Amino acid sequence: MTIQIVGVVIGGLLVLVGMISGFRSVAAPSDLGSGRDRFLLALHDASKAGFWLALGAAFVGLSVLEPAEDYRWLGVIPIGMAGLRLLAAALLSRGPGD
């Protein structure tokens, strides 16, 4: 029972971090010129917030759902978000002529 409470608390904190990350990325002005760069920056910021939200959802889901073994795939979603963020960062680091 206490492990479930700890999982829900950790998950709630991670969801809060994801929401703060999402709000900060929306509030930050971006003066990038091309549409490609704006799209990649939006993808990078969305995957950053999505990582924290998915990680929090995985903690809460694995703490609350029964049987938890059937929902282990929830741990793959944050990994996918991190990969998407890495891909967007790699494409952003390349110049427009590359």
Q: What is the pLDDT of residues 3-37, one digit of tens each?
A: 789 999 999 999 999 999 989 888 877 777 788 88
Is residue 78 pLDDT above 80, yes or no?
Answer: yes
At residue 3, the pLDDT reads 79
Is residue 49 pLDDT above 90, yes or no?
Answer: yes
At residue 46, the pLDDT reads 92
| Cα atoms in the Cβ-side hemisphere of radius 13 Å centred on 37 | 11
Indicate the number of domains in the chain. Answer: 1
Q: What are the angstrom distances between the C-alpha of 16 and each of 35, 58, 69, 86?
A: 30, 14, 25, 22
Spatial distance between the Cα atoms of 87 and 70, rounded to a whole number of angstroms: 29
At residue 4, the pLDDT reads 87
In a domain, 31, yes or no: yes
- The range of the structural domain enclosing residue 37 comes to 2-93
> Reduced to 3 DSSP states, what percent helix, strand and coil does the chain have, rounded to the nearest 5?
85, 0, 15
In a domain, 17, yes or no: yes
At residue 95, the pLDDT reads 67
At residue 37, the pLDDT reads 86
Spatial distance between the Cα atoms of 56 and 61, rounded to a whole number of angstroms: 8
In a domain, 98, yes or no: no
- The arithmetic mean of pLDDT across residues 61-89, rounded, is 90
